[in-house]
Amino acid sequence: MTFYETEIKRIRNICYSNNKQIETVIATRNYIDNNFETEINLDFLSLIHFTSKYHLLRLFKKYYGLTPRQYLMDKRIEKSKELLKEGMTVTQTCFSVGFESLGSFSTLFKTKTGKSPTKFQKEQLSRSQLS
């Protein structure tokens, strides 16, 4: 069981929440996890889960502490770290995880990790050569 699933169960016991709401939130997270490289927005997520986008936004934030967009960006950054460690170029990584602009990818990556994608990759490759 993942950390998020454990937390959802814990919160469910505290709040006596509706199981349908929890299923919707988990399904939304799973969709993001499996399709992070595609164009995903709140309108689309609410459409596939047959719920109001504002209600979905509130539920997701309630259970995960992040909006679906924030979760998506974190997922993309985590996947980009993996790809950069494997030696993929920054440009290839940017587009393969779903960003449409190299500039926005680099800015967000640096904000989240404290390093530019190129610097992160160089550090990871030098660490792997030392091992």
Out of 4-8, 27-31, 89-93, 112-116, pick the least confident: 4-8
Q: How many angstroms separate the Cα of 95 from the Cα of each of 2, 83, 119?
A: 28, 11, 18
**pLDDT higher than 70, residue 130:** no
**Each residue of 78-119: pLDDT tens digit?**
999 999 999 899 999 999 999 999 999 999 999 999 999 999
In order of start, what are the domains of the chain with their CATH numbers?
3-65 (no CATH), 75-130 (1.10.10.60)
Structure tokens at 73: 């960006």
In a 10 Å sphere around its CB, with 0-12 CB exposed, 13-18 middle and 19+ buried, how is residue 105 labelled? buried
40, 41, 107: which is closest to 80 by C-alpha? Answer: 107
Structure tokens at 118: 């190129």
pLDDT at position 20 is: 82
**Each residue of 70-89: pLDDT tens digit?**
999 999 999 999 999 998 99
